[in-house]
Amino acid sequence: MTEPMQTATLSLKGKNYELPVYSPTEGPDVVDIRKLYGQAGVFTYDPGFTSTASCESTITYIDGEAGVLLHRGYPIDQLAGKSHYLEVCFLLLYGYLPSASELEKFETSITRHTMIHEQMHNFFRGFRRDAHPMATMVGVVGAMSAFYHDSTDISDPHQREIASHRLIAKMPTIAAMAYKYSIGQPFVYPRNDLDYASSFLHMCFSVPAENYEVNPILARAMDRIFTLHADHEQNASTSTVRLASSSGANPFACIAAGIACLWGPAHGGANQACLEMLKEIGSVDRIPEYIARAKDKDDPFRLMGFGHRVYKNMDPRATVMKQSADEVLELLGVEDNPLLQVAKELEHIALNDPYFKEKKLFPNVDFYSGIILEAMGFPTSMFTPIFALSRTVGWISQWKEQLSDPAHKIGRPRQLYLGESQRDYVDIENR
């Protein structure tokens, strides 16, 4: 951390306290309150930590007002348009775009780690067939620490590197196996002759009875979904991974914690909620009714997949995802799918209705990714596992960054206690 360029003065109970103020390369200045409790005996109160910087980071920057998302300084639209997922993985992990030889070596390492230990197949069979794939992923990823003892020592940089590559490589295999298990089909092994996204689609949709050729348009759309969800700064699941990591937990346990947090409908389940909303609307002729309800402040109905908590402008990821959605729908068609017909009409209304423009309720990345995954044939239960697969590299990059930070310590949020003051125990016969 650089030296503070200025200070902020806090006046409290007749005393003044000088607090250092740091200026980032991007974003608002940060007031350093680490010594505030020791000096003034007070905590700060910030539910949700929405105004608190919990760490230093050089990985991802978001400006929600301007609609900007940068990975290591590179705009997300450039990365999604010109790069591909594994190159973005390298960028997030190491901080720079690789040379051709570096990228080839990295891709080879990931490809050679895609299979999972054969005995891990037994874990899947311990779950009920109707178990949510996220429940399966939490259990299987957490169990990886029982199989890969050579990558659990977080103090060893080499073991951290091995764990990082293993998790990126094996997550598509685990997600695909969770899907296959849920629909009663045999597991399909990864193929080293296919790229990352194509291999995942092959593991999900191929069967032993016939050949399956991965359509390049679908593979490209899948790769973009991975890329656009790779990292998103200090969100709930990333903060969970960092908090778990601060205790010294092994990397597989930390990522399992991130998956568990992502499972929440307010976080990773947003695109699933969007598709469920489209199912509720049901047909194009019912859209005016639901648009009217969305505009009614007294109606609890909300349009899912429109607007964003962070972005107060167009979600920069949505622009790229819309292109993929258009390509996929042109390939697969929407004529026989009422759900996709509703989605296309809703999109048209949102982009042209003055109410939506004024409120900046643009279709977000969850709206378009949900459309793409639905068109590909994924059930809504697989939307969040695919999100977890995509976000794994972001979690790992944040995990590695935290472990290399000499200032990091175990997380210990404070509280505003409003319970009873100390009182004496009363024997049960006297109550």
Tell me which DSSP letter residue 16 carries. Answer: E
Rounded Cα–Cα distance for residues 60 and 391 (Å) = 13
- CB of 144 closer than 8 Å to CB of 252: yes
Sign of torsion over alpha carbons 219, 122, 252, 380: positive
Whether 149 is a known active-site residue: answer no
Q: Work out the burial of residue 363: count CB atoms within 10 Å of its CB; fewer than 13 is exposed, 13-18 middle, 19 or more buried.
A: buried
Q: What is the DSSP string of 180-245?
A: HHHHTPPP----TTS-HHHHHHHHHH-BTTB--PPPHHHHHHHHHHHHHTS--SS-HHHHHHHHHH
- CB of 32 closer than 8 Å to CB of 20: yes
Cα angle: 315, vertex 165, 211; to 5 degrees: 80
Closest CA to 147 of 109, 192, 115, 107: 115
Sign of torsion over alpha carbons 47, 50, 52, 57: positive
**Catalytically annotated residue among 130, 366, 408, 424:** 366
- CB of 233 closer than 8 Å to CB of 329: no
Whether 308 is a known active-site residue: answer yes
**Catalytically annotated residue among 296, 308, 326, 353:** 308
Sheet order of strands, 15-22 included: 6-12, 15-22, 30-31
Cβ atoms < 10 Å from Cβ of 205: 18
Distance of CA 318 to the CA centre of its chain: 15
**Can you name the residues that pair with 68 across neighbouring β-strands?**
63
Sign of torsion over alpha carbons 219, 382, 175, 231: positive
**Can you name the residues that pair with 69 across neighbouring β-strands?**
62
Tokens 């978001």 correspond to what residue?
Answer: 62
- Residues with active-site annotation: 308, 366
